[in-house]
Amino acid sequence: MDEVSTIAGKVQRVKDHWPGILAIILTLIAWHCYAIFLIRNRFLLPGPVDVFFAFIALLQKGVLLSDFRVSLIHFAIGLGGALLIGIPIGIVMGWNSRMDAFLNPIIEILRPIPPLAWIPFAIIWFGFTPVSAGFVIFMGAVFPILINTYTGFRGVSRIFVEAGRMLGCTRTRDQIRYIAFPAALPSVISGIRIATGVGWMCLVAAELFGVSNNGLGKDLWFFYDLHQMDSVVVYMILLGLIGLVIDMIFRYYIEGRFLKWRTGEVA
Amino acid sequence: MADRGGGVMGKLEIRNLSKAFPREDGSSLVVLDNISLEVQDKEFVCILGSSGCGKTTLLRMIAGLDSAESGSIVLDGEKMKGTDARVGMVFQEYSLFPWRSVIDNIAFGLEMQGMTKDDRYRLAERYLKLVNLTQFRDSYPSELSGGMRQRVAVARALALDPVLLLMDEPFGALDAQTRNMLQKELLEIWEATKKTVVFITHSVDEAVFLSDRIIVLTPRPGRICQVFPVDLSRPRDRTSPAFAQVRREVLDLINLNCSIQ
């Protein structure tokens, strides 16, 4: 019974996804034909076969893995810092309207500055270190987290706080921990998800502009200087795929684990 | 001071309670005017009034969620300031924490008291059984019907073993059939636990079915218009002639004395 149902499930899954798979295959073929028969210039447009062999070569040299590791460190520093700073400030502003009035102007002035505009100061303050690239990512990631935490706390229904008070949850610290934070969590998590996307884009730019000596973005630039465009495409695809995986982790793992209670609440 | 150990528990005295809300033009809107009221230990009292008569405000003040302008609220000889562990409340809106399962909702108050997980689950399960929802122990509120949610809310309030249970139109949003069923269940729980209950409603039928005494409020400003003892024996049958008779008396009384001017 089980066996049959899993096989049926697999067949169903293939059925659900085949248009998408077909589109990818068609795109690869079109790309291949365009590059081989029309452009006929591996510098201007490397074909999928060139890219595949470049990928194998890079993998054998071991650069891909070390680049991946370095970039992940940059990303972790930036996102970690953004969580550490963004969530507490968002909580304070969302919970206390006086703090909101106090901090809001500063936030509103800093927020529209493009994260990449911080690159010069990142270099001056932190030199060519992982912290430097992390700082640029931090500037991109901190505001979505802060703003969403703030909005989430603002939206906490009064009835929950009052119900909590009737049940002996009267200290501010407990009200934040046991009521406001879980109530605001969906908003906080969607803020983190936006932040990972923005942060990932900042990461590539930060490395590109020389804030780091290594990393996926940095080596993408390096191979451009060598005019090895097939390797550049390898890095492009890799960056896209990693971004996708990070987003998938959020969509399926984090939301499934922490926002289980929302299934059925939002249609 | 209250004699805590034995005897009287859950006696509520409200003396000369008034409440006004400030209006934008600087004047104030009197919501409750000089309310004095005594609720005996283990008594079931309904406060009946049309919407806007300040009955919810009155209950919120007893709960300690709103402050009084003047007057005092005394429970078992002890003047109440702010929310109080001896008072439980069931709200009109769904107030269950949607991120907590049913059992964790019921155990919330016990958790706040610092009780260990095993102890609070053991206790919460008893109240879960009391409201007949044992099989929904690990469900989330979003998976429950409106009636079930309010039963969980009752269990959650009772889990802290309050002497006084406040209920603000808890069945107002439910359909008539569910409502009747929950009224019956509530009376069974009340018989079993013997709490003092103050129950807000705008339904005469509900008030007659549930209460020992009905307190009718006039609207704007809220004043006590009439106190009506319900002398029907329990369990009550809402189709009986005696029940209909009492209901008619209450309605006549409201129309005669307590209607909106």
Q: Is residue B243 part of a domain?
A: yes
- Architecture category of domain A47-262 in CATH: Orthogonal Bundle (1.10)
- Cβ within 8 Å of A, B 147-206: 156-157, 160
User: Does A167 contact chain B (CB < 8 Å)?
Assistant: yes
* Domain regions of chain A by residue span: 1-40, 47-262
The yes-or-no verdict on residue B5 having pLDDT over 80 is no
Domain coverage including residue B41:
12-86+162-258
- What is the pLDDT, as a whole number, of residue A267? 40
Q: Tell me which residue of B237, B208, B202 sits closest to B222, measured CA to CA.
A: B202
The helix/strand/coil state of B116 is coil
**Per-residue pLDDT, B1:** 39
pLDDT digit string (tens) for A194-246? 999 999 999 888 888 767 778 898 899 899 999 999 999 999 999 999 999 99
Which of A165, A166, A175 to mutate: most B Cβ within 10 Å?
A166
Shortest alpha-carbon distance between residue B155 and chain A (Å): 12
Does residue A194 belong to the interface with chain B, where contact is any CB pair within 8 Å?
A: no
Q: Residue A262 has what pLDDT?
A: 79
Q: What are phi and psi of B227, to 5 degrees?
A: -115, 125
DSSP one-letter code for A266: B
What CA–CA distances, in Å, run from B123 to B95, B133, B205? 21, 14, 34
Across the range A57-65, mean pLDDT stands at 89
Amino acid at B25: D
- Predicted confidence at residue B154, as pLDDT, reads 92
Q: Collect all residues of chain A within an 8 Å Cβ-Cβ radius of residue B158.
A: none
> What percent of chain A is modeled with pLDDT above 90?
64
B208-221 average pLDDT score: 88
Q: Does A168 touch chain B (CB under 8 A)?
A: yes
> Do residue B93 and residue A178 have CB atoms under 8 angstroms apart?
no
Q: What is the mean pLDDT of residues A1-7?
A: 61
Give B7→chain A minimum CA distance, Å: 25
Determine the distance in angstroms separating the CA of A145 from the nearest CA of chain B, rounded to an integer: 21
> ipTM value of the model?
0.89
A80 interfacial to chain B (CB closer than 8 Å): no
A161 part of contact set with chain B, CB < 8 Å? no
Q: For residues B205 and B180, is the Cβ–Cβ distance under 8 A?
A: no
Residue B131 lies in a domain: no
Domain membership of residue B23 (yes or no) is: yes
Q: Count up the domains in chain B and report the number.
A: 1
Indicate the range of A17-26, B44-53, B174-183 predicted with least confidence.
B44-53
User: What's the pLDDT at A3?
Assistant: 56
Contact list, B64 vs chain A (CB under 8 Å): 165
Residues of B in contact with A160 (CB under 8 A): 95, 97
Report CB contact under 8 Å: B143, A163.
no
> Would the CB atoms of A167 and B140 count as touching at under 8 Å?
no
Tell me the residue type at B65. L
With a cut of 60, say whether residue B34 has pLDDT above it: yes
Q: Extract the runs of DSSP E, i.e. beta strands, from B191-250.
A: 196-201, 213-218, 223-229
Q: What is residue A252's predicted lDDT score, i.e. its pLDDT?
A: 83
* pLDDT score for B4: 42
**Higher pLDDT, residue A257 or A211:** A257
Give me the residue from A159, A167, A182 closest to B156, CB to CB. Answer: A167
- Tell me whether residues A169 and B108 touch, CB distance under 8 A: yes
At residue A87, the pLDDT reads 97
Where residue B148 falls among pLDDT bands split at 50, 70, 90?
very high
Q: Please write the tens of the pLDDT for every residue from A91-146.
A: 999 999 999 999 999 999 999 999 999 999 998 999 888 899 999 999 999 999 99
Q: How confident is the model at residue B120 (pLDDT cuts 50, 70, 90)?
A: very high
**B46 strand-pairing partners:** B199, B214
| CA–CA separation, A178 and B62 (whole Å) | 24
Q: Read off the pLDDT band of B187 (50, 70, 90).
A: very high
Q: Is residue B92 part of a domain?
A: no
Say what the pLDDT of residue B256 is. 81
Give the per-residue pLDDT at A265.
Answer: 57
Q: Across-strand partners of A131?
A: none
How far from the centroid of its chain's Cα atoms is residue A165's Cα? Answer: 37
- Across the A:B interface, residue pairs with CB atoms under 8 Å apart total 68
Q: Which residue of B has its CA nearest to A266?
A: B142
Q: What is the DSSP letter of B138?
A: T
Mean pLDDT for all residues in chain B: 87
Residue B227 lies in a domain: yes
- pLDDT band at residue A24, thresholds of 50, 70 and 90? very high
Helix A130-154 vs helix A181-208: crossing angle, to nearest 10: 150
3-class state of residue B226 by DSSP: strand
Q: What is the mean pLDDT of residues B90-115?
A: 93
CB contact under 8 A, B85 and A168: yes
pLDDT of B83: 86
- Asked if residue B66 is part of any domain, the answer here is yes
B5 or A91: which carries more pLDDT confidence? Answer: A91
Average pLDDT of span B75-103 = 90
Contact: A262, B160; criterion CB under 8 Å: no
pLDDT on residue A104: 94
Q: Considering the domain boundaries, does residue B80 fall inside one? A: yes
Enter the tokens of residue B104. 């964790």
Identify the band that residue B82 occupies on the pLDDT scale cut at 50, 70 and 90.
Answer: confident
- What angle separates helix A48-61 from helix A63-95, to the nearest 10 degrees? 90
A261 and B65 within 8 Å at the Cβ level: the answer is no
Minimal Cα distance from A159: which residue of B?
B95
Give the residue-averaged pLDDT of B248-255.
88
Q: Each residue of A31-56: pLDDT tens digit?
A: 999 988 888 888 889 999 999 999 99
Inter-chain touch A168–B97, beta carbons under 8 Å? no
Q: Is residue B81 part of a domain?
A: yes
Residues of chain B with pLDDT > 70, as a percent, come to 96
Verify whether the Cβ–Cβ distance A182 to B97 is below 8 Å. Answer: yes
